[in-house]
Amino acid sequence: MLGGVFKKVLLVLLVVVVFENWGKIERVFNPSQVVSEPVRASARVTLYATEWCGYCKQIRRFLDQKGIPYQAFDIEKDAQARQAYEALGGGGIPFVNVNGTLIRDYNPDAIMAALK
């Protein structure tokens, strides 16, 4: 009985880990989707988000899939990040600063345009 429960718990944990890291996993199997090296080298991407935000998770997954380096800050847990977010105008999450271009929603096309 205990062995069956243990197997179910392990399966659930595996599914959660795969879901949370899908962008990184997909990049291994589909490297053609990765952004070119010069773009990645010049990318300055900062993500202001929260842990519970679904669109924030999608932005993280998108950035991971494209191989775009970024810094993520949780504005609920980090007071300095919250101040920086508010100083930039805040206004909702996800809030992404891409090379000085401020993107206030889930918009992969705007992120890619700001990287060029």
Give residue 31's pLDDT band: very low, low, confident or very high (50, 70, 90).
low
Domains of the chain: 2-115 (3.40.30.10)
**Residue 115 near residue 36 (C-beta atoms within 8 A):** no
* Nearest-angstrom CA–CA distance, 67 and 46: 14
Lowest-pLDDT choice from 8-12, 22-26, 70-74, 97-101: 22-26
**Residue 45 near residue 71 (C-beta atoms within 8 A):** yes
With vertex at residue 109, the alpha carbon angle to CA 103 and CA 113, rounded to the nearest 5 degrees, is: 80
3-state secondary structure of 27: helix
Alpha carbon 33 to chain centroid distance?
16
Global pTM reads 0.66
